[in-house]
Chain A
Amino acid sequence: MKLTLDWLKDFVDVPVTDPAHLVDVFESLGLEVEDWGRIEPTFSGVVVGKVLSVEPHPNADKVRLCTVDIGAGEPSQIVCGAWNFDAGAIVPVALPGAVLQGDFEIGRRTIRGVESNGMICSEEELGLGDDAAGIMVLDEDYPWATDHIGAEFSRLLPFPDAYYDLAITPNRPDCMSVYGVARELAAYYDVDLVEPRTDVTEVGPPSTASITITDPDACPRFVAREVRGLVARRSPHWMRRRLQLAGVRPISNIVDASNYAMLEVGHPTHAFDMDRLGDRIVVRHAAEGETITTLDGNQRTLEPSDIVVADATRPVAIAGIMGGADTEVHDGTSRVLIEAAYWNPPSILLTSKRLGLRSEASARFERGMDPNFCDRAADRVAHLLQELADGAVAPPLIDEYPKPIAERTVLFDVADVRRLLGIELNVAEVADLLRRLGFTVAGDGPLEVTVPTRRPDVTRPADLVEEVARLHGFDNIPDRVRTGTGGGLPTRERTLRKIRDVVVGAGYHEIATFSIIAESDLDALGLPDGNPVRDAVAVSNPLSEEERLLRTTLIPGLLRALAVNQSRQLKAIRLFEIGTVFMPGSGKLPEQPLRLGFVAGGQPAITWEGQGRTADVFDATGLWELLAAELGVPQPAVRAHRSPVFHPGRCAEVLAMGSPIGTVGEVHPAIAARFGLAGRVVAGEIDLDELLLERPPWRFVPPSTYPPVIIDLAFALDGDVPAAALTETVRRAGGPFLEELTVFDVFAGGNLGEGRKSIAVRLVFRAPDRTLTDDDVVPLRTAIVEAVERSLGGTLRGAP
């Protein structure tokens, strides 16, 4: 909300000279200053003059010759091109030497053979408005200028002024006006608040308008005032200036009066052209399908939950939101009915939201105006129309108030101030702060605080504590560092940090991708209908029609990220993300497991030693093995797997404690191509929740100091026997002395025979307490060879 210091001064005598100081004051009161600036005149050397005579120019038709009294000395002769004035007008005169718009200097000039000693100025030339058609005639805009012939014109204007753009929080509808903000300043400085002028002189026969309210809950109060004999004209400059600085375009005095009053006192009013409106006003619910064309020219279809102001035949306004075009005030309007009502806030919000129609009025009514200010709001407008539009205010003030809203009383124990703020204020100090804000305070045990109806936000002691804190000043509350009794970093967080460390240490860069993906992402993964990954929860109001599913997998986001890097010619790309995925569950909320996803791809990096290695499936399984080892995952395992996303022969399922918790491998080249990826792409996705559980600490094993016995065994096996089966069998048969098992050679073909392969393992045997002998190891070797033969059909190669 924009307002000027000049306007504030109508209501509060601000005891500061530097407008910058007010910025801090506003802030301390909770009125955030989004922008502010000083307003200085953009001209100098301009004085108030009185036109003594106006003659035709001897040599020109379009300009006239004026004699102007500029206070001192002889009247000046000035040539002027404007025609909107006559002899006797009070005007601003730029004398020779005056500077306009910062750098335009006025000199003595000869115009068509006649000397001109300066310039009579328009608003536009003085930077005071956008009227360039004629010169400013001050006796219309500033009647008191008559008494200041020869004075510096800028002295008549509110210079130096300042504007402030305040962000009003939604709990403070009472501050959505100059008067409301002035009240806060008056409280802050503990000075008097000047009340807005609402005095009217009632003339003529009583108004014949009548008001009927069908739903007092929706409209507890409706005040109306008729004003007759209006003459539409331009509003005076001081009013137009304030409107413009507040961001409102001046239109004409009748329309401006209503806008001006709303900016000034906050309460929105609406003026109907009474010649286009029946006498009998009904405030009612709209009929199903009823229509109205609003001021903005749009036809709106209404529903019974909407409240309208209607006459006998049709709705003439959507209550509290926007008036109808039919009864709009226009240039020929001479008689208006001013409406100032109190509308139930939720009902305004509902209709405004449903129609997508917001206005300055609805923004105020939906937050809650003061029901007990309606009468003054109506008469503030009536007063302005009387002063500025020759309005004759008709008796009486029509006031339908079927559901009076009384002030609330809150019992307030002053001990709450200490309990919540940590400061000591006595009863008198607290009472004084509240009184300054306009609360009525009685009693001295618990205070009985009466809250004005303009403050819907204050209903409880905590709300009063806030008021006390605000006015006392947050800066005057001490700082105390408080330490807690919380339990430190939980296992889950510590383990997550470790996972990040491991994956980062393996060369992967962490990324953050969005949680909402497109159906086409799941299509691109080649997932058939019925695949559980396709069963995604949808967002009902997505930002784009395309991206509307909560991700069920991290893979598409990672593949896209990989593609971005590949398209930017980056090499050796390794990325990971730790994030939540979503899938339908049985409870109130979707299942939301936490996952680790990773991808690797792109051309390998080039170094002076040559080109690096392209990542493949073993980088994926290796990362899992590393993670499992670092986290101490019990029984980590890997087994061959099939998934439409992955290469049919290079995909693995990873298991912890016998349960599958993820899939890793090389992405199917056809799927990779759909993401614009070339070359081998490694990817994996692992559920983390199981891995984050609390585990007992690992136990120390002292290393044996005895020498090992090392034997190498190569087995010929059928090609489809997994290496994991061999190592598992060997390990089981090898017994407790088998300290280390390393696969050190794998090959197929040669003289092994069709479909056979060879896997060689190096076994390190060692006892904790003695040196092993052949007597120990030979039986183990025999047992291992027999076990491999028996359970895997493998034969020891090179055996005699």
Chain B
Amino acid sequence: MEALQRLDQLESEAPDRIAAASDLENLARIEAETVGKRSPLLEIRRGLGSLPDEERREVGRRVNEVAQLLGSLIAQRRSILETAAMDEALRAEEVDVTLPGRRPPRGTRHLIDAIQQEVVDIFVSMGYTVATGPEAETEFYNFTALNIPYTHPSRLESDTFYLDYGEVPEGTLLRTHTSPMQARYMELHRPPVYIVVPGRVFRRDSDSTHTPSFHQIEGLAVDTDITFADLKGTLAHFARLFFGPDTKTKFIPHYFPFTEPSAEMHAYADGRWLELLGCGMVDPAVFGHVGYDPDQVTGFAFGMGIERLAMVRHGITDIRALYDPDLRILRQFR
């Protein structure tokens, strides 16, 4: 019965050793010595065959019993030691999470483009599409087709950049507004027309409220039954979408050669009345230039400065800030 005594001894001694295992390596050694290759259990199991039947059964049962017990104690201890080891490894990886994060690089769109897109989207949502035209334009499209007389001051060299290009009398210039696209678009499309035309325009002017080039959005709606009431409603709606639902607007009579009647829309924004855009019913002479019959169609047109919208919205007082490439300015354009 030496085997049974050894099993009893193992059963009473081994649990303390397992519980005292200090690390996984140590536990592996104890495992080998208690239930593994070099353990009394393996030795006794190997000797089972030489034992008498009755004793073999008894010793066999005890071997399994002890093996099971010790196996489960070892697994328990291993789990504890593994968790502790991982805890320690993770503790070693602790960092100061308040250090600045690794921000993916990201630039900014220019404010002019952002505002332009916002205005375009408002009108696209109202059923308009977008057209764009050339920045270097003929005198015909910039002035003549828009019913601007040869004597109009805006044609003066003091106001408009002319180009050394092409042949006189068909002069070329840098467009002074986005309106030339009215004529260009109507020449190529039959009514109805619902377009907005964003783009860069040029005036011979430079101070804190004028830069030699700036951006405009032109709008044109031509259909069989467009009235001044449509103009007022549509543009007032735009102002509410752009500046907020309570934005008040007023229309006051004005003069443009290419609209009749003409108006300026003022909006109450930023705590004051601001002149926001020029507008009016398309002048019959403009329809005449593009082959539309002014007895069959009516339309309205409008034009507004993008920089002005940007300046009002964001509290910019000097337009030149919009043409300063300083990153400290650009990063604000979010």
Contacts from A to B (Cβ < 8 Å): 27-30, 32, 169-172, 345-346, 349-350, 353, 366, 418-423, 460, 462-463, 465-466, 469-470, 474-475, 477-490, 492-493, 497, 500, 503-516, 537-543, 550, 561-562, 564-565, 568, 570, 573-576, 579-580, 582, 584, 588-590, 592, 607-609
One digit per residue, 1 when the CB lies within 8 angstroms of any chain A CB and 0 when it does not, for chain B 306-334 equals 00000000000000001111111011010
**Cβ-based interface call for B242 (8 A):** no
Separation of A592 and B112 alpha carbons in the complex (Å):
21
With an 8 A cutoff between CB atoms, is B227 at the interface? yes
Return chain A residues, CB-CB under 8 Å to B298. Answer: 419-420
Closest beta carbon of chain B to A587's beta carbon, Å? 9
Chain B, residue nearest A580 (CB): B135
Q: Is the CB of A580 within 8 A of B200?
A: yes
Cβ of B226 < 8 Å from any Cβ of A? Answer: yes
Docked-complex contact B253 and A28, CB < 8 angstroms: yes
Q: Measured between C-beta atoms, what is the minimum distance from B208 to chain A in Å?
A: 16
| Contact present for B227 and A30 (CB under 8 Å) | no
User: Residue A539 contacts which of B102, B126, B164, B331 (CB distance < 8 angstroms)?
Assistant: B164
What distance in Å separates the Cβ of A140 from its nearest Cβ neighbour in chain B?
43
Contacts of A421 in B (CB 8 A): 227-229, 261
| A-B complex: 3 closest residue pairs judged by Cβ atoms | A484-B194, A30-B253, A507-B105
Q: Is the Cβ of B106 less than 8 Å from the Cβ of A487? A: no
- Contact of A590 with B230 at beta-carbon distance under 8 Å, contacts A462-B283, A539-B162 already known: no
Within residues 169 to 220 of chain B, which ones have a CB less than 8 A from any CB in chain A? 170, 172, 174, 192-195, 200, 202, 204, 206, 211-213
Name the distance in Å between A89's Cβ and chain B's nearest Cβ. Answer: 50
Query: Can you list 7 pairs linking A and B with CB atoms under 8 Å apart?
Result: A482-B234, A504-B107, A538-B163, A539-B164, A541-B157, A561-B325, A568-B328
For B236-280 the 0/1 string (1 means CB < 8 A from A) is 110000000000001111110000111110000000000000000
- Which A residues are CB-close (under 8 A) to B134? 589, 592
The one of B108, B211, B223, B294 in contact with A504, judged by C-beta atoms closer than 8 angstroms, is B108
| B330: A residues at CB distance < 8 A | 509-511, 575
A598 nearest CB across to chain B (Å): 10
- Distance between Cα atoms of A27 and B152 in the complex (Å): 24
CA of A493 to CA of B123 in the docked complex: distance in angstroms? Answer: 14
Provide the residues of chain B in CB contact with A609, threshold 8 Å: 102
Closest CB of chain A to B63's CB: distance in Å?
Answer: 46
With A478-B229, A480-B230, A515-B135 in contact, do A607 and B100 touch (Cβ < 8 Å)? Answer: yes
Residue of B117, B136, B195 touching A590 (CB-CB under 8 A) = B136
Given the contacts A422-B229, A484-B128, A515-B200, A504 and B109 also touching, CB distance less than 8 Å: yes
B151 within 8 A of A: yes
Given contacts A460-B260, A481-B237, A482-B126, 7 further A-B contacts (CB under 8 A): A421-B261, A475-B251, A478-B232, A500-B113, A511-B330, A608-B99, A608-B100
Contact B106 A504 (CB under 8 A): yes
For A485, give its contact among B100, B117, B127, B157 (CB under 8 Å): B127
Q: Is the CB of B110 within 8 A of A346?
A: no
CB B222 to nearest CB in A, in angstroms, measures: 10
Which B residues are closer than 8 A to A by beta carbons?
99-100, 102, 105-110, 112-113, 117, 120-121, 124, 126-130, 132, 134-138, 150-153, 156-157, 161-166, 170, 172, 174, 192-195, 200, 202, 204, 206, 211-213, 221, 223, 225-230, 232-234, 236-237, 250-255, 260-264, 281, 283-284, 294, 298, 322-328, 330-331, 333
Bound Cα distance from A418 to B227, whole angstroms: 8
B136 touching A349 by the CB < 8 A rule? Answer: no
- Which one of B132, B230, B325 contacts A511 once the chains associate, using CB atoms below 8 Å? B325
A580 vs B250: C-alpha distance when bound (angstroms):
36
Partner of A510, one of B105, B113, B138, B200: B113
Closest to B170 in A: A588
Q: In the complex, A172 Cα to B254 Cα: how many Å?
A: 10
Instruction: Give B292 Cβ to nearest chain A Cβ, in Å.
Output: 14
Which residues of the partner chain B approach A171 to less than 8 Å between Cβ atoms?
255
Query: When A474-B251, A485-B127, A489-B129 are in contact, do A565 and B327 touch as well, CB less than 8 Å?
Result: yes
CA of A505 to CA of B105, assembled, Å: 7
Q: How far is the CB of B97 from chain A (nearest CB, A)?
A: 13
Complex Cα distance, B109 from A500, in Å, reads 7
Given known contacts A466-B253, A508-B107, A589 and B172 CB-to-CB distance under 8 angstroms:
yes
Q: Are A486 and B128 in contact (CB under 8 A)?
A: yes
**Contact between chains at B229 and A480 (CB < 8 Å):** yes
A506 touches B105 (CB 8 A): yes
Query: What's the minimum C-beta distance from A484 to chain B, rounded to whole angstroms?
Result: 3
- Set of chain B residues within 8 Å of A460, measured between Cβ atoms: 260, 284
Which of A28, A465, A537, A574 is close to B165, meaning CB atoms less than 8 Å apart? Answer: A537
Taking CB atoms, residues of chain A closer than 8 Å to B107 are 503-510, 574, 576
* Residues in chain A near residue B281, CB distance under 8 A: 420, 462, 465
Cα of A570 to Cα of B331 in the assembled complex, Å: 12
Greatest chain B CB density within 10 A among A171, A481, A515, A608 is at: A481
B328 touches A474 (CB 8 A): no
For B250, the chain A residues whose CB sits under 8 A away are 474-475
Cα–Cα, bound, A584→B264 (Å): 38
CB distance A512 to B322 under 8 Å? Answer: yes
- Taking CB atoms, residues of chain B closer than 8 Å to A420 are 227-228, 261, 281, 298
Known: A349-B151, A465-B260, A582-B136. A588 touches B166 (CB 8 A): yes
Given the known interface contacts A346-B151, A477-B228, the answer about A590 and B165 at a Cβ–Cβ threshold of 8 Å is yes
For residue B132, give the distance in angstroms from its CB to the closest CB of chain A. 8
Least distance between A512 CB and chain B CB atoms (Å): 6
Q: A466-B262, A590-B165, A592-B134 are in contact. Are A510 and B228 (CB under 8 A)?
A: no
Of all chain B residues, the one with the shortest Cβ separation from A345 is: B151
Complex CA distance for A513 and B212, rounded to whole angstroms: 11
A470 and B261 in contact, given A345-B151, A570-B326 (Cβ under 8 angstroms): yes
Q: Chain A: which residue is nearest B227 at the CB level?
A: A422
Which A residues touch B195, using CB under 8 A?
Answer: 486
| Cβ contact within 8 Å between B166 and A463 | no
Cβ contacts under 8 Å, B211 to chain A: 514
Neighbouring A residues of B213 by C-beta, 8 Å: 514-516
Please, how many angstroms separate the alpha-carbon atoms of A492 and B199 in the complex?
Answer: 14
Q: CA of A624 to CA of B281 in the docked complex: distance in angstroms?
A: 46
Report the separation of the CA atoms of residues A582 and B138 in the bound assembly, to the nearest whole angstrom.
Answer: 14
B229: chain A residues at CB < 8 Å are 421-423, 477-480
Write out the residue numbers on chain A whose beta carbons fall within 8 Å of the beta carbon of B264: 32
A32 to B262, CA, bound (A): 13
The 8 Å CB contact of A575, one of B174, B236, B325, B328, is B325
Docked CA distance A582–B174 (Å): 11
Q: Please, how many angstroms separate the alpha-carbon atoms of A423 and B227 in the complex? A: 9
Residue of B nearest to A480 (CB): B233
Assess whether B151 is in contact with A466, with CB atoms less than 8 Å apart.
Answer: no
How far, in whole Å, are A497 and B124 apart by their CA atoms in the complex? 15
CA distance A469 to B128 in the complex (A): 27
Q: How far is the CB of B170 from chain A (nearest CB, A)?
A: 6
User: Cβ of A481: which chain B residues have Cβ within 8 Å of it?
Assistant: 126, 230, 233-234, 237
Residues of A contacting B331 in the complex (Cβ-Cβ under 8 angstroms)? 509
